[in-house]
Structures are given as C-alpha cells and as structure tokens.
Amino acid sequence: MTPATLAPRPDRRAQWLLIGLAVALTLFIVVVPLVYIFWRALSEGFAVFAQNILAPDTLHAIWLTSAVAVITLPVNLAVGIAAAWLIARFTFPGRKALLTIIELPFSISPIIAGVCYLLLYGRQGLLGPALAAGDVKILFALPGIVMVTLFVTGPFVAREVLPLMQAQGSEQEQAALTLGASGWQIFCRVTLPNIRWALLYGAVLATARAVGEFGAVSVVSGAIRGQTMTLPLQIELLFNDLNTVGAFAAASTLTLIALVVLVLKTVLEGRTR
C-alpha cells in the first residue's frame, strides 16, 4: 500500500516531470562520471590499458594497497567484535564514553586524522624525537599507512555488529554458559553464527574504505615513488605527471572494486536487515 496508489489523481504530469528531473540529474552527476572512468581508461585501446596497469609503480601501488587491506582487515574484525561484545554484554562506568571514542573517527575528517598522526610522530611531533633516537620508522612507511587506515576504518565493524548484538540479547549465550560451554565455544557456536552477516557487511565496508582512503594516507605516506604510494595516491601522481590515461587505468581498478562492494552491500543488506 503505497501513497502513490492511494492517490492516483494528483497530476501525472508533475510526477513524470519530477522522475525525469531526478533521472537526468543522476545521469549527469553520478552515471556519466562512472562511465567516463572506464571510457578514458580504455580510450587508447586495451593494450595501453594493460601496459598502464602493469607499469612497475602502479603494480607496486596495487601490492601496497592490497597489503594494507590484508593487514587492517583482521585487526578491524577483532577490535570490532571485541568492542561490540564489551559494550553489548557488559555494563561498566564509562561505557557511553568508550562508545563515543570508538565512533570518534567518523566525525573527524580523514585529512585531520593524518595531520594528528604527523603532529604525534613527525620530526617535531610529540614522539618524533624519541622515535628518531630509537630508529623506529612509523611515518612515511607501511606502519604509519596501516595505523592511519585503522583510524579511518575502525568504527565500521562495531557499528554493524553492536546494534545487532544489543537487539539479540544475551539469553542464548547465557544458556550455553549454564550448559557448561567455554568462552570460545560460546563465541564460535552461538555468537558468531548470529552476527556473521553483519560482521561480513562491516568487513566489506571497512575494507572498501581501506582500499580507497586518500586524505589520511596522503599525509603520512610521504609519497615516495614506487615505495609508499598506495593506489589512490598513485592516481594523483599519474595525474600530476600528466599521464591522464594511466591515472584513469589505475582509477578503473578501484572503480571495479567499488562496484563489487555495491553489489555485495545490496546482497548483505537483505540478509542483515
């Protein structure tokens, strides 16, 4: 029973005008840019496209971005589950404050997160001199890129899993406990099956973000060619080098990932909601 079927009268012309306007604007703003990415990437033929993707620096960027995604995913899963378990299953002083802090990265723009990291670990940063003395390299290297990516992607898993665990309550887990199950048994046999789709959904969103993050990573990476360039940074480098087709080739791989994520998201939303 939709309002549209309730009210067939209010004139159809206005309706089709609005639909037409909505479709036209969406075409211009969203669809055309999407198509344009692939069109430009392939504008000089598939051979050039393959050549661009297989350029050593771009391959290295793909490798680095994959490495960041592979490292951040298990951390995000572990911390997301732990945070959801902690907040959904226990009451303790400071519970609300902890939740606010866990969600804090969503209200700080990624570029500011990058600036914070530099103010902490940079040459004149709070811990900079100590790190330099101990010859520990965090900035302009993989650890910094991973840490700032964790900052940006941290809340995704908890945000999907926590509401579900709160809604489900802990009766099943408590029953398992009285039947003599150990903590891990409860988690693996009771909790995990209950939250698996939300967990997967959160993991997909976090990983998509880890792969595509630009602002935060650009500050801490130092943009060393062929070394600390993730794929999004490589796009900017190629663009600034006036290798536009190469930039679009690199961008098209990220766009494909984004489209896959969208399909996964649609499928998983049906399962979690």
Site for other proteins in 192-231 (CB under 8 A): 208, 211-215, 218-219
Out of 8, 10, 134, 180, the residue judged to bind other proteins by CB under 8 A: 10
The stretch among 4-12, 51-59, 160-168, 193-201 that binds other proteins (CB under 8 A) is 4-12
Out of 108, 143, 163, 243, the residue judged to bind other proteins by CB under 8 A: 108
* Contact pattern for other proteins over residues 47 through 66, marking x by CB under 8 A: --------------------
The stretch among 3-11, 52-60, 129-137, 195-203 that binds other proteins (CB under 8 A) is 3-11
The stretch among 30-38, 50-58, 129-137, 194-202 that binds other proteins (CB under 8 A) is 30-38
Among residues 216, 186, 217, which one has the least CA distance to residue 81? Answer: 186
Residue with Cβ nearer other proteins (198 or 245): 245
117 in contact with other proteins (CB under 8 A)? yes
Contact set for other proteins, span 86-105 (CB under 8 A) = 86, 89-92, 98, 101-102, 104-105
Asked whether 229 and 272 are in contact (CB, 8 A), the reply is no
Cα–Cα distance for residue pair 229/222, rounded to 1 Å: 8
Contact set for other proteins, span 241-270 (CB under 8 A) = 244, 247-248, 251, 254-255, 258-259, 261-262, 265-266
Rounded to the nearest whole angstrom, what is the least distance from the CB of residue 53 to other proteins in the complex?
A: 15
* Contact pattern for other proteins over residues 133 through 172, marking x by CB under 8 A: --------------x--xx--x---------------x--
Amino acid sitting at position 243: N
CA dihedral sign of residues 31, 32, 38, 41:
negative
Q: Kindly state the number of chain residues that form the binding site for other proteins, as judged by CB under 8 A.
A: 101
Rounded to the nearest whole angstrom, what is the least distance from the CB of residue 194 to other proteins in the complex?
A: 14
